[in-house]
A = this chain, B = another copy of it.
């Protein structure tokens, strides 16, 4: 966090406000006012300054600005196991883009192997960002307090800290679980199974809860749960093998996410020689782009990334305008995407590529 020893400068001579001031025969204050909204400055001089500034590529030094205004444009993004699920990088890319368009700058704080988000959070807080977005991770409640003391708002994206009054934007995982349950039951299946993702994540928990509750409501009681697993292809692959080594094989499987589902599917079709959906239906969650590929054509629940980004930006805007805006959890519903990995009940079959 400490500035690097700066042996390296090839005559880095930065243009500063004083230069413009001298050149245009005005004071430094006036230069500053040309770049600050809501200040008294004549349109003429402002135009003159901005034009000249543009011509020589002057921009006010952001460090000095931060120092004087006690503000900055930085939004920290804490990311952990981002490479696991192709969905997170996408979220990161979109988020940072949306932030930039709103005038913020995204600074990345990856959680290294063997670290926890709590370890890197202080590094983010050192920049005193107005917001830190925690992507696909959670932090301790102490850490949330620490952030709050510094005036930084923590926003959890895609996960949340149960019971803690924090900002969060999540997909309606429970609704997704219910939708899948409904769909599988409608397909005529009665022996269902769930392949779990990473334990103790709110995503995994809520998807299972929604799924199992809806099953019960619909009178389906034969619901097996394959607990040990994480959100990965391999985990899905192995879980499917374990599951089908048992005597009571399920007719349909709901997997904690698409990656897991694709793994399970490949195990069933490859290693076990089963047909999907003829022998067994498989459904996932997220609707990652691979799920639309003809090779798998996975039925899934669409993760409403677009809207979640939008909601996050709205949240940021709102908090920014009203510091006393109370923590809320925004839950965004997605929608069922039926493809050909689940048995068609009425011949419905969606089959888009890539």
A-to-B contact residues, CB < 8 Å: 1-14, 35-37, 57, 59-67, 69-74, 77, 79, 82-83, 86, 88-90, 92-93, 96-97, 100-101, 103-110, 112, 120, 122-123, 126-128, 130, 146, 148, 150-151, 153, 232-234, 237, 262-263, 265-266, 269-271, 289-290, 293-296, 319-324, 353-354
Could you tell me the distance between the alpha carbons of A2 and B34 in the complex, rounded to whole angstroms? 12
Could you tell me the distance between the alpha carbons of A289 and B290 in the complex, rounded to whole angstroms? 12
Chain B residues whose CB sits within 8 angstroms of the CB of A123 once the complex forms: 100, 105
Evaluate contact between A63 and B72: CB separation under 8 angstroms: yes
Residue in contact with A64 in the complex, picked from B57, B67, B234, B289, CB distance below 8 Å:
B67
Nearest residue, chain B, Cβ from A289: B233
Beyond known contacts A10-B148, A83-B89: 7 more, CB 8 A cutoff: A1-B105, A3-B69, A89-B89, A100-B123, A105-B108, A237-B353, A237-B354
Evaluate contact between B14 and A322: CB separation under 8 angstroms: no
Residue in contact with A8 in the complex, picked from B7, B234, B322, CB distance below 8 Å:
B322
Least CB distance, A240 to chain B, in whole angstroms: 12
Evaluate contact between B232 and A103: CB separation under 8 angstroms: no
Chain B residues whose CB sits within 8 angstroms of the CB of A120 once the complex forms: 100
Least CB distance, A188 to chain B, in whole angstroms: 26
Chain B residues whose CB sits within 8 angstroms of the CB of A262 once the complex forms: 293, 295
Evaluate contact between A320 and B110: CB separation under 8 angstroms: no
Residue in contact with A97 in the complex, picked from B37, B96, B112, B233, CB distance below 8 Å:
B112
Chain B residues whose CB sits within 8 angstroms of the CB of A296 once the complex forms: 295
Chain B residues whose CB sits within 8 angstroms of the CB of A70 once the complex forms: 6, 9, 12
Least CB distance, A250 to chain B, in whole angstroms: 21
9 cross-chain pairs, A with B, having the tightest CB-CB distances, nearest first: A89-B89, A12-B151, A3-B71, A233-B354, A8-B323, A234-B354, A63-B66, A6-B71, A97-B110
Residue in contact with A323 in the complex, picked from B7, B323, B324, CB distance below 8 Å:
B7
Evaluate contact between A108 and B96: CB separation under 8 angstroms: yes
Chain B residues whose CB sits within 8 angstroms of the CB of A79 once the complex forms: 93
Least CB distance, A294 to chain B, in whole angstroms: 4
Could you tell me the distance between the alpha carbons of A9 and B324 in the complex, rounded to whole angstroms? 9
Evaluate contact between B10 and A62: CB separation under 8 angstroms: no
Evaluate contact between A3 and B270: CB separation under 8 angstroms: no
> What are 13 A-to-B residue pairs whose CB atoms are below 8 Å?
A1-B62, A3-B72, A4-B103, A4-B320, A57-B146, A88-B89, A89-B90, A96-B108, A105-B108, A233-B293, A233-B354, A234-B354, A266-B293
Could you tell me the distance between the alpha carbons of A63 and B354 in the complex, rounded to whole angstroms? 45
Chain B residues whose CB sits within 8 angstroms of the CB of A35 once the complex forms: 2
Nearest residue, chain B, Cβ from A263: B354
Could you tell me the distance between the alpha carbons of A319 and B9 in the complex, rounded to whole angstroms? 10
Could you tell me the distance between the alpha carbons of A66 and B72 in the complex, rounded to whole angstroms? 14
Chain B residues whose CB sits within 8 angstroms of the CB of A93 once the complex forms: 79, 82-83, 89, 110
Least CB distance, A308 to chain B, in whole angstroms: 15
Evaluate contact between B59 and A8: CB separation under 8 angstroms: no
Could you tell me the distance between the alpha carbons of A232 and B67 in the complex, rounded to whole angstroms? 45
Could you tell me the distance between the alpha carbons of A69 and B234 in the complex, rounded to whole angstroms? 49
Could you tell me the distance between the alpha carbons of A63 and B237 in the complex, rounded to whole angstroms? 49
Evaluate contact between A1 and B73: CB separation under 8 angstroms: yes
Could you tell me the distance between the alpha carbons of A191 and B9 in the complex, rounded to whole angstroms? 54
